[in-house]
Amino acid sequence: MTAALVASLQGLDVLLCEKSGQVGGTGSTSAGTLWIPGNHQSRRAGFDDSAERAEQYLDALVGSPINRDLRTAFLKTGPIAIDYLEENSDVRFLPCGRHPDYRSNMKGAAVAGRAIVPQPFDGRLLRADFPRVRPPIPEFMVFGGMMVGKADIGPLIGRFKSAANFGHAAKLFVRYVLDRTRYPRGTRLVMGNALVARLFYSLRKRGVEILFDAPITDVAFKAGRVFGATIRRAGKEINVKARKGVVLATGGYAHNRRFREAFMPRPAPVHSLSSEFNQGDGLAIGERLGARIAPEEHGHSGLWSPVSLTTRSDGSKGLFPHLMLDRAKPGLIAVNSAGERFVNEAVSYHDFVEAMFEANAKVPSIPCYLICDATFIEKYGLGVVYPGMRKLSALLKSGYLKRDDTLEGLAARIGIDGHGLRRTVARYNGFARSGIDIDFGKGETELNRFNGDESHKPNPCIGPLARAPFYAVEIWPADIAVSTGLSTDINARVLDKDRQVIPGLYACGNDMASPMSGSYPGPGTTLGPAIVFAYRAAMHAAGKASSQ
């Protein structure tokens, strides 16, 4: 949508083809955060940052010169692309303020100023097109259809603790009740849903033609360049000529078994948070044209989140991503089959899963288990259990939660070593008294403390597991995006195996090999580059490319 919007703004004729019946893909179910170092929205809010410091951070994090030209282009263009969208469309962003980079102890890392989020959007502006916006996952909505952002959680949970909280919660609820008289869900859109809706609304206002249920099946290639695409719609194939080029943005290969087996760690994880329509269409087309797929090493693809497996009200299965609401709070540990900790539980969701893979090579750690006590679950919740939730019977009956009055009993219920769990908890409780995790350093980085409980002393991320009953939830790895894709130059032009440009073919989003080379620097690592390189692709097609 970004590539289509920018191309339209530059005066090009655009056809946007959506494989499904709704816009948004994985982005609509995400937090909607963009990692854009040096963005002007944060600078205006008083947060100082620069592309130079971010480049130092990425050099330290990636540890390789591979893709450095792409990262440099991303850092240079990021603020420009965001300002362009704000000045020329209804896409709007807000600074996140404090939102630490995920490896905040590295040179060049920032605590604040690099993350931005879309402004909330009123879905009623889309009128009859509102149902075209893919909804968030049910686990991220309340009352069956109301979206809430991070800033809404406190007032909703503490609605009776202050007049301000009650007013905020009441306003959200009244709006939602009124929405449900006319719409299938709430129209107050936040996070990734707001970003998708703002792009969609901007495209509609410009009159850009959008075909739904219209997957790409092939591209037309002749005399050394791509000059069109074949689209399937209503059982028929449509041949579309493209004077300036074709942009592949099909979401990556998350649900393509062949590509998962080829590029992901073995055995390939079975769960994915990506849209079910992300089936590797773009990679397959590039592969047939002789495009280079990168990175070339096996096992380095995937941007990860730990998830618990849910059973929804209609009986279907779902995934709840454990991003930042429970793992960093004091009084929780993650253990493997031996009942032992294997990771700093407060690291980023990507790094947590990477630690699962590493530990699993020695001791079965997939799945692993989050363990807490009664005090923790009452105060902080656990997965789909929200803080203060009293009725746990349905979750216990479904098996989502396991509970027992003793640690050994809990270990038996989840099939791990009970003696190992008892030893681990005893050692961890010692860390809780001292405030120092000598095994994994939980609570020592800005990211840890940001997601912890600042009111808890001496360490906002470490607390005892002491009060029965004890609880466990099973955790699996799931990809939220992929880093392996079509190799491109700095203007998102696809390269062949000799690293030469395939004229007329562009790739962005998860179809493009990640410029971060499989690393995960901060919040919005996928959406930030996706939008920036979509902007660069459209500008190149319009004849306004940057050489840097």
Q: Residue 132: CB partners within 8 Å, gap ≥ 6? A: 21, 22, 23, 126, 200, 212
Domain count, the chain: 3
Find the CATH number of the domain harbouring 359. Answer: 3.90.700.10
Q: Tell me what pLDDT residue 96 has.
A: 94
**pLDDT single digits (tens) 103-145:** 989 999 999 999 999 999 999 999 999 999 999 988 888 888 9
Q: Please indicate, yes or no, if residue 316 is contained in any of the structural domains.
A: yes
Q: Please indicate, yes or no, if residue 444 is contained in any of the structural domains.
A: yes
Q: How far apart are CA 534 and CA 351, in angstroms?
A: 27
User: To which residue do tokens 């704000």 refer?
Assistant: 86
Q: Please indicate, yes or no, if residue 339 is contained in any of the structural domains.
A: yes
Q: Tell me what pLDDT residue 176 has.
A: 92
Q: Please indicate, yes or no, if residue 4 is contained in any of the structural domains.
A: no
Domain check: are 263 and 286 in the same one?
yes
Q: How many Cβ atoms sit within 10 Å of the Cβ of residue 466?
A: 14
Q: Tell me what pLDDT residue 26 has.
A: 94
Q: What confidence category does residue 151 fall into, taking pLDDT thresholds of 50, 70 and 90? A: confident
**Across 255-279, average pLDDT:** 94
Domain check: are 325 and 410 in the same one?
yes
Q: How many Cβ atoms sit within 10 Å of the Cβ of residue 154?
A: 14
214: left (phi over 0), alpha (psi -120 to 50) or beta: beta
| Cβ contact 321:480 at 8 Å | yes
Q: Residue 162: CB partners within 8 Å, gap ≥ 6? A: none
Domain check: are 329 and 421 in the same one?
yes
User: pTM higher than 0.85 for the full model?
Assistant: yes
| Cβ contact 349:307 at 8 Å | no
Q: Please indicate, yes or no, if residue 7 is contained in any of the structural domains.
A: no
Statement: residue 222 has pLDDT above 90: yes
Q: Tell me what pLDDT residue 134 has.
A: 96
Domain check: are 505 and 438 in the same one?
no
**pLDDT single digits (tens) 158-183:** 888 899 889 988 999 999 999 999 99
Q: What confidence category does residue 153 fall into, taking pLDDT thresholds of 50, 70 and 90? A: confident
Q: Rounded to an integer, what is the distance from CA 444 to the centroid of its chain? A: 24
Statement: residue 55 has pLDDT above 80: yes
**pLDDT single digits (tens) 77-88:** 999 999 999 999
The angle formed by the CA atoms of residues 405, 368 and 310, to the nearest 5 degrees, is 80
**Across 459-466, average pLDDT:** 97
Q: Tell me what pLDDT residue 315 has.
A: 84
Domain check: are 340 and 471 in the same one?
yes
**Across 396-403, average pLDDT:** 96
Domain span holding position 429: 305-479
User: 171, 189, 207 — which closes off a domain?
Assistant: 189
**Mean pLDDT of all residues in the chain?**
95
Domain check: are 378 and 460 in the same one?
yes
Q: What confidence category does residue 299 fall into, taking pLDDT thresholds of 50, 70 and 90? A: low
Domain check: are 270 and 327 in the same one?
no
Domain check: are 278 and 313 in the same one?
no
Statement: residue 547 has pLDDT above 70: no
Domain check: are 332 and 423 in the same one?
yes
Domain check: are 262 and 174 in the same one?
no
**Across 86-95, average pLDDT:** 98
